[in-house]
Amino acid sequence: MAKSFWSFGAPGQLMFGRGTVSQLSPLAGRFGWRRALIVTDRNLMEAAVATSVQNALISGGAAVEVFSDGEAEPSIATAEASLACARSFSPDVIVGVGGGSNLDLAKNTAAAFTHQGHPTDYFGFDKVPGPTLPLVCIPTTAGTGSEVSNSMVLTDTGQQVKISGQSEFFRPDWAIVDPELTYSCPRQVAADSGIDALTHAIEAITTVDYDQLEIPAGETCAYDGRYELTAALAERAIRICGEHLEPAVLDKNNYTAKDQMALAATLAGMAFSNSGVALVHAMEYPMGGELHCSHGLGNGLLLPYVMQFNLESRRDTFSKIAGWLGEQADDGQECSAEQAVDAVKRIRKSIGIADRIRDIGGKQEQLHSFTEKAMKIQRLFWLNPRSANYDDIHKIYCTAF
């Protein structure tokens, strides 16, 4: 049955701006945090990004333990190691520092530590039984929006697929978005995570409308479909990506563009984590699991192909997206919907994202296995503006091959 209302989730508090990471110090004092576990990785230790977080917590009066074995697209084994570290330290606050990978690890650790479970207990919708200990998420990429989202994604290396959980209890209590922390991102990370943010915004604003969203009987859905508030957030995120994604990636000294992309990623995170993502994400999860490409690269590669498939169902929105991404109509009229696909292809090319599955190590014979795995993620199909069957998905993969 379709919904007659929408509801909007956000982190408890969102702080944004250069230097905001220093605010951890008064927060630690105000909330009386005594034992802080930082969940991060070696790159962020080396880039001294995690150290700035550590120093702020210490000056706020907390003892700090650091789990620095986070990894990109983290596995269940890494989540077990992070949980073991939490169990031996017994923190009263968990602070994720990193890209979406470390933030998701921190979310998983907070849930499993608080509820004495195993990392795999929280896959699927609404599996966290209640609130977790205080969770702070500090992004160092401008991409995933995990700092504001209700999602947590790990990699099941056995099944070779990305696997996720959604729960309101995964939304951090504090999201501290300090754009300066993204400045040390390598160019490829900035490109991959930046196009992930654009994908989130485009999927959020083209999902089924909330009052048209049909959930099969007996099922529940983590997302509400599109409504005015998320559409406004997604529109702003798309406009920012149109203006700032390319300079943020191509010019390492363009800090204004990088600041704007940090904002776009957070806005897109608030949009998608309420309205939902759809076929691009359903199709990326198997590709990421089998090809070990980054989430952003897989999404960016697939995005124009899925947009092309969805074009007929959302012509008006796609023609607006084209304009927001800087396309011009020849005759002063509105852009065509097709120009949105052209715009994303142009941006994808300019920031160095591959446009063919074969170019990132995929083999033709894998396309059926990708399709079978994607078809299992039906909860994202419900949100797609156009219904898709096995043949449709296989055809999109073949076109993208």
> Where do contacts with ligand NAD occur on this chain (CB under 6 A)?
41, 43-44, 47, 49, 72-73, 98-102, 104, 140-141, 143-146, 149, 151-153, 162, 181-182, 184-185, 189, 192-193, 196, 295-296
Which strands, in side-by-side order, build the sheet including 124-125?
Answer: 124-125, 161-166, 151-156
The option from Zn ion, ligand NAD, none interacting with 44 (CB < 5 to 8 A, set by class) reads: ligand NAD
**Cα separation, 92 vs 175, whole angstroms:** 17
Nearer to Zn ion, 110 or 280 (CB): 280
- For the chain, the straight-line distance linking the first and the last C-alpha, in angstroms and rounded, comes to 37
Pairing between β-strand 13-16 and β-strand 174-177 as defined by DSSP bridges:
parallel
Q: Which residue number places its CB atom closest to Zn ion? A: 196
Contact residues for 21 (Cβ-Cβ < 8 A; gap 6+): 52, 53, 56, 138, 176, 178, 180, 181
Hey, is 55 helix, strand or coil? helix
Q: Angle at Cα 377 formed by Cα 302 and Cα 131, nearest 5°?
A: 110
CB of 57 to Zn ion, least distance (A): 29
CB of 299 to ligand NAD, least distance (A): 8
Q: Which stretch binds Zn ion (CB under 5 A): 108-116, 133-141, 196-204, 248-256?
A: 196-204
Q: Which stretch binds Zn ion (CB under 5 A): 54-62, 67-75, 191-199, 322-330?
A: 191-199
If binding means CB under 5 A, how many residues of this protein chain bind Zn ion? 1
- Can you tell me which of 196, 224, 235, 327 binds Zn ion, judged by CB under 5 A? 196
The option from Zn ion, ligand NAD, none interacting with 43 (CB < 5 to 8 A, set by class) reads: ligand NAD
Give the x/- contact pattern for Zn ion in 147-186, rule: CB under 5 A: ----------------------------------------
The option from ligand NAD, Zn ion, none interacting with 98 (CB < 5 to 8 A, set by class) reads: ligand NAD
Structure token pair of residue 222: 């983590």
The option from ligand NAD, Zn ion, none interacting with 146 (CB < 5 to 8 A, set by class) reads: ligand NAD
In this structure, are residues 60 and 24 in contact, taking their beta carbons and an 8 Å threshold?
yes
CB of 173 to ligand NAD, least distance (A): 15
Residue 75 phi, psi (nearest 5)? -90, 170
Count of CA atoms in the C-beta half-sphere (13 A) of 177: 28
Nearer to Zn ion, 196 or 327 (CB): 196
Nearest to 128 by CA among 140, 137, 138, 119: 119
The option from ligand NAD, Zn ion, none interacting with 341 (CB < 5 to 8 A, set by class) reads: none
CB of 50 to Zn ion, least distance (A): 23
**Cα separation, 164 vs 103, whole angstroms:** 13
Nearest to 249 by CA among 198, 188, 197: 188
